[in-house]
Amino acid sequence: MTVNSTPTSEGLEIRNLSCTREDRTLFSGLSFHLTTGHAIQIEGPNGSGKTTLLRMLCGLRLADKGEIYWNGCDISEERGAFLSNLNYIGHAHGVKGELTPLENLRVSQAMAARSNSLPLDDALEKVGLLGFEDVPSRTLSAGQRRRVALARLLINPAPLWILDEPFTAIDIQGQKQIENMITQHVLDGGMAILTSHHPLDLSEDHLSRVNLAT
Amino acid sequence: MTNSSLSKAFIAIIKRDLTLALRTRSEIANPLIFFVIIVSLFPLAVSPEPELLKTMAPGVIWVAALLSTMLSLDSIFRSDFEDGSLEQMLLSPHPMPILVLGKIIAHWLVSGLPLIFLAPLLGVLLFLPYDAMPALLATLALGTPVLSLVGAIGVALTVGLRRGGVLLSLLVLPLYIPVLIFASNAIATAAADMSIKGQLYFLAAMFALALTLAPLATAAALRISLR
- Tens place of pLDDT for every residue, chain A, 214 residues? 344 555 567 889 999 998 888 888 888 888 999 999 999 999 888 888 899 999 999 988 888 888 999 998 898 888 888 999 999 999 888 899 999 999 999 999 999 888 787 889 999 998 888 899 899 999 999 999 999 999 999 998 899 999 999 988 889 988 898 999 999 999 999 999 999 878 787 888 888 888 887 6
Best of A107, A140, A153, A155 to substitute, by most chain B Cβ atoms within 10 angstroms, is A107
- Which SS3 state, helix, strand or coil, does residue A6 take? coil
- The beta-carbon neighbor of A99 closest among B8, B19, B89 is B19
A175, A7 contact by CB (below 8 A): no
C-alpha to C-alpha distances, B14 to A84, A155, B11, B108, nearest whole angstrom: 21, 21, 5, 11
A100, A137 contact by CB (below 8 A): yes
Chain CA centroid to CA B148, Å? 4
Q: Are residues A98 and B20, on separate chains, in Cβ contact within 8 Å?
A: yes
Among candidate residues B111, B34, B116, the one with its CA nearest the CA of residue B76: B111
Which letter does DSSP use for residue B131 in this model?
A: G
Q: Which residues of A touch B (CB under 8 A)?
A: 58-62, 80, 83-84, 86, 88, 90-99, 103, 106-108, 110-114, 136
Interatomic CA distance for residues B72 and B31, integer angstroms: 6
Q: Are residues A110 and B8, on separate chains, in Cβ contact within 8 Å?
A: yes
C-alpha to C-alpha distances, B60 to A33, B53, B86, B139, nearest whole angstrom: 63, 9, 36, 14
Among candidate residues B95, B204, B119, the one with its CA nearest the CA of residue A80: B95
Domains in chain A (CATH in brackets) are 1-85+159-214 (3.40.50.300), 95-158 (no CATH)
Look up the ipTM and state it. 0.88
The torsion angles phi and psi of A115, rounded to 5 degrees, stand at -140, 150
- The beta-carbon neighbor of A111 closest among B19, B83, B88 is B88
Task: Quickly list H helices, A68-213.
Answer: 79-83, 101-111, 120-126, 142-155, 172-187
Q: Residues 6 or more apart from A31 whose CB is under 8 A from it? A: A1, A14, A15, A16, A17, A66
Residue of A nearest to B84 (CA): A94
A150, A178 contact by CB (below 8 A): yes
Which letter does DSSP use for residue A200 in this model?
A: P
Among candidate residues A39, A89, A53, A49, the one with its CA nearest the CA of residue A191: A39
